[in-house]
Structure 1
Amino acid sequence: MTMLSVEDVHTYYGESHILEGLNIEVEEGENVAIIGRNGVGKTTTLRTILQLTPPQQGTVRFQGEDVTGLTTHEVAQRGIGWVPEDRRIFSHLTVEENIKIATPDPENVPDALELAYSTFPDLERFHEKEAGDLSGGQQQMVAIARGLVGDNDLLLVDEPSEGLAPQIVQKVVDALENIAADTTLVLVEQNFPMAMDLTDRFYLVDHGQVVGSGNSDEVSADDELIRRYLSA
């Protein structure tokens, strides 16, 4: 079953034409990477799916339903979660409060906390600490945990390894591997080996269009197409 379909989408920021007829499909249970250089439209693709930046042309379908033009809240209610690049945690709330507020059903809070802390044991140690006082890596853990406890069918994750130390990146990778086992995942990530390890398929984007796609286990950083569109 096709869970997500982005069909001939054109998205603008003001007069800047960012997505120029972009097409992607994600099947239920798949984990898909969107890769490409900075500024080619990867984050805009996620924002368009969520209707944070609605397309001026084209269609976004989720589980067969046209969600184009809905509010972001309505899209999220249908089962799409988001871990944004800038994390967007509540800095003046504690770790525990951040997780609680992301849990749709208050009755499920104990299970949500158990899930978050089993995924990121570090967070349990800091559960009473304000999220804004955590390190960048710990804040990323909170952001991913919030997406995890949202009971989503599809999770959009934007640049989860950006700015993190290698040992923290490995913790994030381990958590995303666990999440990907049960949730359909769309990942935007500059770390090419990490993106390929975590996903089944990839879309290569340039200037707001898909210029290549394939199976993640059949491509390497040395492939001509990857070098052409990912090298500086």
Structure 2
Amino acid sequence: MGINLGDTFPNFEANTTEGKIKFHDWLGDSWGILFSHPADYTPVCTTELGLMAKMIPEFEKRNVKVIALSIDSVQDHQGWSQDINAYIGREPVQKLPFPIIADEKRELAVQLGMLDPAEKSKDASLWTARAVFVVGPDKKMKLSILYPATTGRNFDEILRVIDSLQLTACKKVATPVNWKVGGECMILPNISSEEATQLFPKSFRTEKLPSSKNYMRFTPQP
């Protein structure tokens, strides 16, 4: 099972550290990130959740709600949250600035295609992979990244991708390799030069290539 880009994200119900939620209602008109973890009280996950707790203001600035998933109980999540807060130098309270879904039976992990066939827990159950799903306000999946359980994520890259997704959702541009906010964008191939002149009053430049095909067109970020 799993979910593909452009699919409507499942409107699942789940118990979390902030009570029971129905995903679409919880998301509202915001963008959302759901990121999963192999298990509570695991070292790499602790570094990730700690960094996310620190970075929440950056996601809030972008109108992005954050929710995590781990295959343990709400009670375990609350105890683990104390460790995470202590690890990042904060008061060791039982709450983080985002909810954590309890998925003890791995039902949601299976539904969303998150299991890592290469990594097993002590009881031989498959660990949940480190999935990152970005969901738009239209409840459709805009991005999927699936890391193995043994590899921690790069949250700076996730922020960069969200900036690109939000820009390209409303402007007829694409973002090139290693793009960051403020960098040049690329004009979509299906836009004619005449239309590009109207759409991009800051002008654009065309890279001259041996093929003479004028498809490499750059414009300042709209």
With CA pairs under 8 Å and 6+ residues apart, which has the higher RCO, 1 or 2? Answer: 1
Q: From the CA coordinates, give the structure whose radius of gyration is larger.
A: 2
TM-score normalised per structure 1: 0.28
